[in-house]
Amino acid sequence: MSDLVNCPSCGKIMVRNKFRDICPDCYKEEEKLFDTVYKYMRKRENRAATMPQVVEATGVSEELLLKFIKNGRIQITQFPNLGYPCDKCGTIIRTGKLCESCAAELKKEIELHDKAEEFKEELRRREHERTYLSKDRDK
């Protein structure tokens, strides 16, 4: 059964759709804005534009530009000065979801967690080895 929700952009009631997160009217508007950005970025002289320059020239919000990039509609490999924020710290990156320092920090935390789990397992094993069986005295 379909769910009725409010469009996060305009607030109109809409049927939840797994393909779009906004209502049809907002989607049409978003497509017009994407065309504006695409036409701007297609020009050779604009390919080196930064995020603020694209925002200023097209009137499209930075949030919407980031949405286009994250959804793969704008390929940043073709535009050397565009990027998106790291999911953890917000540093501008060009690949993945985390910057190098956040990825290294996460890897370190995972390694520490794994070592702690190994230590706990070793303690459990040692405790099990210490268990003594006594002879049955009833014989």
- pLDDT tens per residue across span 13-27: 888 877 888 898 999
Share of the chain above pLDDT 70, in %: 92
Which has the higher per-residue pLDDT, 1 or 94?
94
pLDDT band at 131 (very low <50, low <70, confident <90, very high): low
Question: 12-30 b/e with 16+ CB inside 10 Å = b?
Answer: eebeeeeeeebbeebbeeb
pLDDT tens-place string over residues 87-124: 999 898 888 889 999 999 999 999 999 999 999 999 88
Q: Looking at residue 133, what is its pLDDT?
A: 60
Unique residue bearing structure tokens 């789990």: 117
Six token digits for residue 24: 């049809």
Q: Is the pLDDT at 11 greater than 70, yes or no?
A: yes
Could you tell me the CA-to-CA distances from 105 to 98, 109, 113, 119, 127 in Å, in that order?
Answer: 10, 6, 12, 21, 33
Which has the higher per-residue pLDDT, 8 or 33?
33
pLDDT tens-place string over residues 63-83: 999 999 888 888 888 888 888
Q: Is the pLDDT at 86 greater than 60, yes or no?
A: yes
